[in-house]
Structure 1
Amino acid sequence: MRDGQAHRWCERCGGRLAGDNGGGLCGPCVAGRRELRFGPPQVDDAFWRTGAMREALGSWHMGRVLKAYRTHPWHAKPVPQETVGHWIGLTQAQLSRIENGPAPQELDKLMRWAHVLGVPGDLLWFKLPAHRYENTDRRAARKEEPPDMEAMERRAFLARGIAVTVLPALTVDDLRHLAAALENAHRYADAHLTQVLRNQLTSLALDDGSRGAKKALPPVLGILTAIESMSRSAKGPARQEILAVGSTAAEFAGWLYRDAGMTETSEHWRDRAVDWAREACAAPLQGYAMLRKSQGCWDNRDARRMGELARAAQHRAWRLPDRVRAEALQQEAQSMAMLGEPLRSVEGKLDAAREVLADVTATDDGAAESEPRSGYSMATLDLQTAICLAEAGQPMRAVELYERCLAQNTLSYRDSGYFTSLMAASLAEAGEPAEAATAGATALRVAEATASGRTVRELVRLSVRLTPWAGLAAVRELRDAVYSGTSGPASRRRGATEASRPAQG
Structure 2
Amino acid sequence: MTHANCPRCGGRLARDNDSGRCAPCQAAERDRLSAPPVVPASFWEHEPVRRALAERHLGRVIRAYRCHPYHGRAALPQTVVAGWLGITQAQLSRVENGPPLVHLDRLTHWAQLLRVPPCFLWFSLPARLTEVAEHDAVPVKEAGPTAPPALTDACIAGSTQGGGTTDRRQFHALAALAGIAATGSLDLLAAPHNAARSIGMEQVRAVDSLVNEFRRADAAVGANRLCDTAIRVHAQLSAAAAKATYSRDVGEALQATLADLAIETAWLTIDANRRPEARAYLNEAITRARFADDPRMEVRAFAHLALLTWRDRPGEALHAAEAALRSSAGWGTPRLATLLHLRAASTYATLNDMSGFHRAMSRARREFERGVSEDDMPFLHFVTEQELKGIEGLSYLALGRPERAANAFRAITENPSPVLRRNQIYYSVQLADAASRQGNLDEAAYTAMNLLPDIGRVSSGRVSLHLAQLRSSLGQPQRATAATRQFVEAYDQAVHA
1:306-385 map, 5 Å: 306-316=317-327, 320-342=332-354, 345-365=356-376, 375-385=382-392
Q: 1:286 aligned to 298, 309, 321, which one?
A: 298
Matched, 1:473 2:486: no
Residue 83 of structure 2 is matched in structure 1 by none
Residue 458 of structure 1 is matched in structure 2 by 466
Q: Per-residue displacement from partner, 1:50-105 (whole Å, max 9, x unpaired)?
A: xxxxxxxxxxxxxxxxxxxxxxxxxxxxxxxxxxxxxxxxxxxxxxxxxxxxxxxx
In 2: Cα distance, 1:361 partner to 1:421 partner:
29
What is the one-letter code of the residue matched to 1:420? S
Residue 227 of structure 1 is matched in structure 2 by 237
In 1: Cα distance, 2:368 partner to 2:314 partner:
24
Let me know the Cα RMSD of the aligned residues: 3.8
Q: 2:273 aligned to 255, 261, 268, which one?
A: 261
Residue 255 of structure 2 is matched in structure 1 by 243
In 2: Cα distance, 1:193 partner to 1:355 partner:
41
What is the one-letter code of the residue matched to 2:412? C
Query: Matched residue of 1:385: which SS?
Result: helix
In 2: Cα distance, 1:123 partner to 1:360 partner:
45
Contact 1:257 1:265 in 2 (8 A): yes
Contact 1:189 1:234 in 2 (8 A): no
What is the one-letter code of the residue matched to 2:480? G
Contact 2:208 2:257 in 1 (8 A): yes
Query: How far 1:226 moved relative to its partner?
Result: 4.5
Residue 209 of structure 1 is matched in structure 2 by 219
Matched, 1:197 2:207: yes
In 1: Cα distance, 2:199 partner to 2:388 partner:
42
Contact 1:307 1:335 in 2 (8 A): yes
Query: How far 1:363 moved relative to its partner?
Result: 4.7
Aligned length: 326
In 2: Cα distance, 1:443 partner to 1:321 partner:
35
Contact 2:188 2:195 in 1 (8 A): no
How does the TM-score come out when normalised to structure 2? 0.56
Cα 1:249–1:485 change in 2 (3 A) is farther
Contact 2:271 2:461 in 1 (8 A): yes
Cα 1:321–1:223 change in 2 (3 A) is farther
Contact 2:282 2:301 in 1 (8 A): yes
Q: Per-residue displacement from partner, 1:4-57 (whole Å, max 9, x unpaired)?
A: xxxxxxxxxxxxxxxxxxxxxxxxxxxxxxxxxxxxxxxxxxxxxxxxxxxxxx
Query: How far 1:173 moved relative to its partner?
Result: 6.1
Contact 1:231 1:239 in 2 (8 A): no
Contact 1:197 1:223 in 2 (8 A): no
Q: Per-residue displacement from partner, 1:188-238 (whole Å, max 9, x unpaired)?
A: 431x33333323333432342341113333653454244313321133221
In 1: Cα distance, 2:459 partner to 2:489 partner:
18
Residue 70 of structure 1 is matched in structure 2 by none
What is the one-letter code of the residue matched to 2:440? E
Contact 1:182 1:226 in 2 (8 A): no
In 2: Cα distance, 1:297 partner to 1:220 partner:
22
Matched, 1:418 2:426: yes
Contact 2:314 2:347 in 1 (8 A): yes
Q: 1:169 aligned to 180, 189, 195, which one?
A: 180
Query: How far 1:421 moved relative to its partner?
Result: 1.0
Q: Which moved more, 1:454-463 or 1:244-253?
A: 454-463
In 2: Cα distance, 1:261 partner to 1:294 partner:
16
Structure 1 spans left out of the alignment, 5+ residues:
1-121, 128-162, 490-505
What is the one-letter code of the residue matched to 1:475? T
Contact 1:125 1:218 in 2 (8 A): no
Contact 2:176 2:220 in 1 (8 A): no
Matched, 1:399 2:420: no
Query: How far 1:284 moved relative to its partner?
Result: 2.5
Residue 37 of structure 1 is matched in structure 2 by none
What is the one-letter code of the residue matched to 2:301? A
In 2: Cα distance, 1:413 partner to 1:317 partner:
29
Query: How far 1:166 moved relative to its partner?
Result: 5.8
1:118-197 map, 5 Å: 168-171=179-182, 183=194, 185=196, 187-190=198-201, 192-197=202-207
Residue 18 of structure 2 is matched in structure 1 by none
In 2: Cα distance, 1:164 partner to 1:444 partner:
24
What is the one-letter code of the residue matched to 1:291? A
Q: Per-residue displacement from partner, 1:143-185 (whole Å, max 9, x unpaired)?
A: xxxxxxxxxxxxxxxxxxxx99966434476666776999565
Residue 96 of structure 1 is matched in structure 2 by none
Query: Matched residue of 2:494: which SS?
Result: coil
Cα 1:184–1:199 change in 2 (3 A) is closer
In 2: Cα distance, 1:421 partner to 1:253 partner:
25
- Higher relative CO (Cα under 8 Å, sequence separation at least 6) belongs to 2
Cα 1:464–1:166 change in 2 (3 A) is closer
Contact 1:201 1:220 in 2 (8 A): no
Query: Matched residue of 1:450: which SS?
Result: coil
Residue 39 of structure 1 is matched in structure 2 by none
Query: How far 1:289 moved relative to its partner?
Result: 1.2
Cα 1:180–1:297 change in 2 (3 A) is closer
What is the one-letter code of the residue matched to 1:387? L
Cα 1:124–1:446 change in 2 (3 A) is closer
Structure showing greater Rg: 1
Cα 1:373–1:213 change in 2 (3 A) is same
How does the TM-score come out when normalised to structure 1? 0.55
Residue 6 of structure 2 is matched in structure 1 by none
Q: Which moved more, 1:163-172 or 1:438-447?
A: 163-172
Query: Matched residue of 1:206: which SS?
Result: helix
Structure 2 spans left out of the alignment, 5+ residues:
1-165
Same amino acid, percent of matched pairs: 17
Q: Per-residue displacement from partner, 1:420-461 (whole Å, max 9, x unpaired)?
A: 111111111222111112222344554444232101222344
Contact 2:273 2:462 in 1 (8 A): yes
Cα 1:290–1:188 change in 2 (3 A) is closer
Contact 2:334 2:372 in 1 (8 A): no
Cα 1:324–1:275 change in 2 (3 A) is same
